Amino acid sequence: MLRKSLLAVLSLGLLTSTAPASHAGVPEHGCGGTAVSAGSVTGGTRTYTGAFFGYALFTTAGPHTLRCYVTVDGTERGTTPTVQSVHEVAVTDGVVTYTAAEGAVVAECTQIDGVTIECRDLATVLVTQG
């Protein structure tokens, strides 16, 4: 019984520490941007618009794909264009617009070769008119 439990734990450890093939060969990547909302609140939500960009460097020849997208409470709400790598580099940028309620969890995510590899909290800026 102990041997089976130990093998199960070791197998789980190997599964969780081995990176998927689509993550291999990506030593550096990132997505970023800032969204701004101007105007009044409509039903407790605001529309945000911002410039977003992303890059990925690959150690293997492509083709590889890259896109950056925004989620609101875990649901995708806006994206940059999906681009294909040139040699070992991919760069994307675009204007992203999304709507979020006050207190919503907003994140920017990096997707490489169809796999989301990172999501981070997104900074939003509220512009007040006065």
Question: Running along the chain, 130 residues long, what does each successive block of 10 average in pLDDT?
Answer: 31 30 72 80 78 92 91 94 91 93 90 93 60
The whole-model pTM stands at 0.74
SS3 50: strand
Please report the pLDDT score of residue 41 as a whole number.
61
- The SS3 call for residue 105 is coil
Among residues 27, 19, 20, 18, the alpha carbon closest in space to that of 88 is found at 27
Domains of the chain: 22-127 (2.60.40)
Query: Token pair of 83, please?
Result: 């681009």
